[in-house]
Structure 1
Amino acid sequence: MMHDRRTLIRNSMLLGAGMALLPQPGFAKADARAAIRKAALANKAADIKRLQDWIGLPTIAAENRNVAEGAAYMEELAKAAGFTGVRQVKTDGLPGVVGFMDNGAKHTLGIYFMYDVKQFDPAEWQSPPLEARLVDKPGWGQVVIGRGAVNQKGPEATLLAALHAMKAAGVNPPVNLVLVAEGEEEIGSPHFRQIVETPDVLAALRKTAGIFIPAGWQNANGKVDVNLGSKGIIELELIASGEKWGRGPKQDIHSSLKAMVDSPVWRLVHALNTLVTPDGNTVAIDGWFENVRKLTPREKELIAKVASAGDEAQQKAQLGVTHWIDDLPYNQALERLAQEPTVNIEGLVAGYTGPGGKTVLPGRAVAKLDLRLVPNQTRAEATQKLRAHLDARGFKDIELNVSGGYDPTETAESSRLIQAELATYRALGVEAALNPRLAGSWPGAVFTAPPVSIPAGHFGLGSGAGAHAPNEWYLVESTNPKVAGITDATMGYVEIMYQLAAGR
């Protein structure tokens, strides 16, 4: 493999490098890709501006912020990229956006977008999170910094750039496309199934060879993972209050009264302690592991390959940690990452949290949790077991409010979608490793389960980091020859369409 992968990406688009890119029935000719690349280069400034403008309009479902504006903007982006029949789909929550592109092709590809982003505190950022400034990042190149830059507006805007480049080059995409976008992913996609099961959307999705969410996850060595699944998730709040408990205060009172008044905050702490083992690392909810599927020998084999090719020290440095759980060796830590369901405390809120102290005994306490699920767990089963566990220990008064979530996702290694992803990375000289399961979550289970029942995954070149964190970034102009900037990443989306079109 050439050391300069970026050069190889460019050359393969221009020349059809390797047997995989030789013209064949239903496959693109090299000169079509060359024309598309020329258009992508000419469009680069506009592509970056499109991303910056999109970052400047955040839809934040948790805050009910820019709900109508975000959906309308997603509609306009889809129409401008060439989708037809673009419309909003109403749900019991925020609307989705769908669009279609019939190119008279043999195969159809599904594309999943989320147009919402996580909350942010501007005081934590090095530059305003909605200004989408271009800055130089040592070791990477020029990046755009802003909320949603990598999760997921940067990769999604890059896929849109591929469609704009094809349109400018006068080239029809070699596959038909179905776009499904939602505005509630960051709160657990509570109404996404309503969008997907809209009759015409469901019928279109069933015709696809699979669906993917655009991603930009190349590491500093240019390597990528091809995920065969993702953990499921439940997002929820546990609430303890004097009002529901019938003990403790119904509102904050003076802390000196703790000597004779119960504390709802301590009650919540005791309830939380029952959910995990004393070290906080293993779920202790009654019956939690009854249906958990252990890793298969093949999955362990794939994880071993990921571990041997990975850079443990670099990953620890990026995460800001010095130890894995129980001081496990890297391979076992990665196995645990793929296999273990988790109970995580996202936040604890009670009483006074401002500067200095304030001597109160709070009347209410809230724990924000996320539960990550693995095959063969389900959201419904896990929620029921959590409720039963609390009730059995005398915590019936603690409220359980589920805001969203979905089941785990699994896609066969042999599926046309996964094989097209692997073929694309091979054709572009990008080293890819099969990963049994992403520890993060996305609503892919809505696609892989009935009534849709299609393969679902992630795909993309390029890089970025800081999802859900301050200073989130996405690479637009790469100085690392192993990692794609926005134009090479654009051509990656072009290439997977041709690889899928060439599949039998």
Structure 2
Amino acid sequence: MEKADWLEEVYSHINAAFESEHLPKILDLVRQPSVAGTGEGIDECAEKVMELLRSVGCVDVHLEQYVKSPVVVGRLNADVENAPGILMYGMYDVQPPEPYDEWIVPPYEGARIDFENYGECIVARGIMNSKGPLVCFLNAVDSIRKTLGYMPVNVLFVVEGEEELGSESMIPFVEAHKEEIAKLDGVFLNGARQDEQGRPAVLLGNKGTLYLDLEVTGGEWGGPQKIDLHSMNAAWVGSPAWRLVNALSTMRQGDDILIEGFYDDLKPLSEADEQLTRRFASVFDEEMFLNERLYASRFLHDMHGEEAVRKLMWTPTLNIDGIWGGYTGPATKTVIPYKVQAKVDVRLVPPLTADMMLEKIKKHLNKHGYDDVKITVRQSSPWSKSDPEALACRAALMALDNSGYDQGYAWPIFPGTGPAYLFTQRCGVPFVSYGLGQGGRIHAPNEYHTVKGLRENEMSCAAYLYYLTKLAHEAGQ
């Protein structure tokens, strides 16, 4: 028989089991190297993840090989009828730990220390991104099953080993399992989502990216075509460097993007997104963002408060990532480079697509006389957006509101980019990320997660599953 209110009992089990059972499982996984870029420890780590899935009752645990690292798959079937279903997405690969000499403890030791001003922490590669959150979710599931004697949610576990390489295997994986995924209530990614002030957050979407190479060489317009020239020839030969700079300057002047139609296709926000945006703005700490995250003195156009928040979330951007060509060494070398390149990225928001923005950029350059600029698309990734009213999203928001922490907020769309679009756009299911816990320095030496945060993260996972079942029952599932 199902229990209606079981969350507090599960919390008690997590507290009782955390030090003796749960934390050792977390440490065992972070002590296993798994660097996708080199392949170090990937197969061994995948085996450990399979063992963890089996230990919480998963069936059909197996590996699926697509590009490089295998995807670990397992199914945990609910023991009750009409249970909600989610895909739990995770990753077991990590960034290389180098430089080793900047770590205060060995990166794969799983050391438990008092770290700076954060209190008792685990300092290890992968503890924050993302082995710690993966095992925390599994520990929460274990506590639910042992407390209730049954599992109230169907969970399809999908744990990839190439996230740090761009999730190449997830594209064919999702295509192969599209029908199964489309029947689920949503996709959940666990993570430590508390900010510097301890305020928890829910992520419901992210921007997309169009990444371009722009290249200018000599041609009909002038300029050297085969070799760099001595700069004494600048008096009578055109410069590809100046031509690229001038082309870029037509696209943006000062803080304003000048590409015709760049913002024309944007749509008004839904009422739910409006509410979440205003909620975020109400707790937005401008000084903290500028001083501790951005190391900047001001926002563009001297924006403040809600205006800055809306700009960050809901507008596309045009950014120069780098420009190079000619001589850039420490000495002197007077040349006119024959080839100059720039890398440019555009952040995409709904409903913009990479093709739409690429066409606008091409038309703009052609109109201004720069049709010789060679454009190469290096990468594109669509945006992801989940309906805040969807069951999987409402469960996360309810867990957030009942977390015991004040001033929780949601990102209706996060300014970064990720693979969530594979689920939201290709399968039509919401993707949501939530979790208590604090940590940092991902991809850097001394990656850390507070011990308290790991315990509370397990509780927030249990809370998410609790509110998912509660909402499903209320909806008559």
Superposition deviation, residue 325 in structure 1: 1.3
Among 459, 469, 472, the alignment partner of 1:501 is 469
Partner SS state of residue 257, structure 2: coil
Among 398, 407, 425, the alignment partner of 1:449 is 425
Report the equivalent of 1:269.
245
Summarize the alignment of residues 225-236 of structure 1 with structure 2, pairs less than 5 Å apart. Answer: 225-236=201-212
Report the equivalent of 1:196.
174
Superposition deviation, residue 204 in structure 1: 2.5
Pick closer, same or farther for the CA change 1:293–1:147 going to 2, 3 Å: farther
Q: Does 1:303 find its partner at 2:277?
A: yes
Residue pair 2:325, 2:339 contacting (<8 A) in 1 also: yes
Residue pair 1:86, 1:100 contacting (<8 A) in 2 also: no
| Distance across 1 between alignment mates of 2:247 and 2:94 | 31
Report the equivalent of 2:313.
338
Report the number of matched residues.
463
Q: Does 1:58 find its partner at 2:35?
A: yes
| Distance across 1 between alignment mates of 2:220 and 2:24 | 55
Among 175, 182, 190, the alignment partner of 1:206 is 182
Q: Does 1:73 find its partner at 2:45?
A: yes
| Distance across 2 between alignment mates of 1:396 and 1:120 | 44
Q: Which amino acid aligns with 2:320?
A: I
Report the equivalent of 1:405.
380
Report the equivalent of 2:455.
487
Q: Does 1:386 find its partner at 2:386?
A: no
Pick closer, same or farther for the CA change 1:25–1:154 going to 2, 3 Å: closer
Partner SS state of residue 272, structure 1: helix
TM-score (norm 2): 0.82
Report the equivalent of 1:433.
409
Pick closer, same or farther for the CA change 1:43–1:299 going to 2, 3 Å: same
Summarize the alignment of residues 415-426 of structure 1 with structure 2, pairs less than 5 Å apart. Answer: 415-426=390-401
Deviation readout 1:395-448 (Å, 9 max, x if unpaired): 444333333332222222221112211222344323432333222222222212
Pick closer, same or farther for the CA change 1:96–1:234 going to 2, 3 Å: farther
Superposition deviation, residue 475 in structure 1: 1.7
RMSD (CA atoms): 3.7
Unaligned 5+ segments in structure 2 are none
Superposition deviation, residue 68 in structure 1: 8.3
Deviation readout 1:181-210 (Å, 9 max, x if unpaired): 445555655664322110xx2233123211
Residue pair 1:100, 1:177 contacting (<8 A) in 2 also: yes
Report the equivalent of 2:21.
43
| Distance across 2 between alignment mates of 1:293 and 1:158 | 38
Unaligned 5+ segments in structure 1 are 1-22, 60-64, 479-484
Superposition deviation, residue 462 in structure 1: 0.7
Q: Structure 1 residue runs of 4+, over 6 Å off?
A: 118-121, 166-170, 243-246
Deviation readout 1:228-276 (Å, 9 max, x if unpaired): 3222222333233459998425455555554555443333323322332
Residue pair 2:137, 2:461 contacting (<8 A) in 1 also: yes
| Distance across 2 between alignment mates of 1:172 and 1:349 | 60
| Distance across 2 between alignment mates of 1:233 and 1:132 | 36
Q: Does 1:464 find its partner at 2:439?
A: yes
Pick closer, same or farther for the CA change 1:194–1:345 going to 2, 3 Å: same
Q: Which amino acid aligns with 2:49?
A: L
Pick closer, same or farther for the CA change 1:258–1:285 going to 2, 3 Å: same
| Distance across 2 between alignment mates of 1:231 and 1:180 | 23
Deviation readout 1:158-179 (Å, 9 max, x if unpaired): 3344456668889654322123
Summarize the alignment of residues 31-430 of structure 1 with structure 2, pairs less than 5 Å apart. Answer: 31-50=9-28, 52-53=30-31, 56-59=33-36, 65-67=37-39, 70=42, 73-74=45-46, 76-82=48-54, 83=58, 84-91=60-67, 96-105=71-80, 106-115=83-92, 122=99, 134=111, 136-144=114-122, 150-163=128-141, 173-182=151-160, 185=163, 189=167, 192-198=170-176, 201-242=177-218, 247-252=223-228, 254-276=230-252, 278-279=253-254, 281-296=255-270, 298-319=272-293, 320-430=295-405
Residue pair 1:350, 1:366 contacting (<8 A) in 2 also: yes
Pick closer, same or farther for the CA change 1:29–1:137 going to 2, 3 Å: closer
Residue pair 1:32, 1:171 contacting (<8 A) in 2 also: no
Superposition deviation, residue 391 in structure 1: 3.9
| Distance across 2 between alignment mates of 1:203 and 1:163 | 25
Residue pair 1:58, 1:66 contacting (<8 A) in 2 also: yes
Partner SS state of residue 242, structure 2: helix
Identity across aligned pairs (percent)? 27
| Distance across 2 between alignment mates of 1:472 and 1:360 | 43
Q: Which amino acid aligns with 2:247?
A: A
| Distance across 1 between alignment mates of 2:121 and 2:355 | 41
